[in-house]
Structure 1
């Protein structure tokens, strides 16, 4: 091993320090920024799903419903597609003590342009006013003599020729599971209603 004097040892020490410093600078310049870029990209990827979720939030369609009868605040209210009779009563402030809730199906869906009438206890509930389209107990489905198959109750559907309670319930089940009937012809998709029965009822039904 070479024998270095004191001056040479000092010079070698300085060169060694400079070499270490150069290596550190090189590492920071070429490797450290790459790591930061990777971290930045990872952060952007983590944020992306949240932004996508916000972008695809689907707003429900608004519907207008008239609530009348034995409620605290009768009037016309805006609800969302898929809301039930109970929701309509809630926005009307709830019912008054005299209300006959037994005559209503609180789980029934309401639709745009429906009129929901809440009778008082003892009020007649098995007839309807065809001149106003008001169903005494429940949702209006008649205004021109035709029955709206998208909103009619079982009792109203059984007023149609050839439609008994079983078939009426099938109609209700069909629209609950598949959505509104787009046309009167769609009622033929209900089990038990063929061309012959449709001919009997086609002029007595509507979808709006």
Structure 2
């Protein structure tokens, strides 16, 4: 009887020890999981912070804006501005108007944009006239450029319109282009058979590449 009782006591002791071990293991697993979650949360916060800082740096860089103010201001030049500034603010950055400035032709309330050119006319100047002059100059430059003969694209007939270039020399220019490749400078024309220094000097004002 005593032996049976002792066996039962040992059985319950072993069950108790096993249960205690299970509880300890369970608590250890929970603790380990909690620590991992804390680490992950910390890493996420650090990553978010780094991303935010990087975004702010990029944002700051894209906020860099510059405008060029010319004409009747005390200190014309290039100034750094922000997107909420107006033309009047840029005039103030440039030291203000000169006494002969005609500010009535300028929209001082216009919001500035990056790479904007602001011109403050003097009394007697007309912005419309200035724009027309610039447009005419651009048109003349384009027209002058279009009249030039491009050595890399010209046909035999186009080359023959050049002073001193006949059928034979035009064919030599085309052949040189096919064999040697495109002209890298108009001076390369002197490498073509039959084209000497004198001929080139007479032609160079009519050539382009």
TM-score bracket for the superposition, by shorter chain length: 0.3 to 0.5
Q: Give the helix-richer structure, 1 or 2.
A: 2
Ranked by relative contact order (alpha carbons within 8 Å, sequence separation 6 or more), the top structure is 2
Of structures 1 and 2, the larger Rg is shown by 2
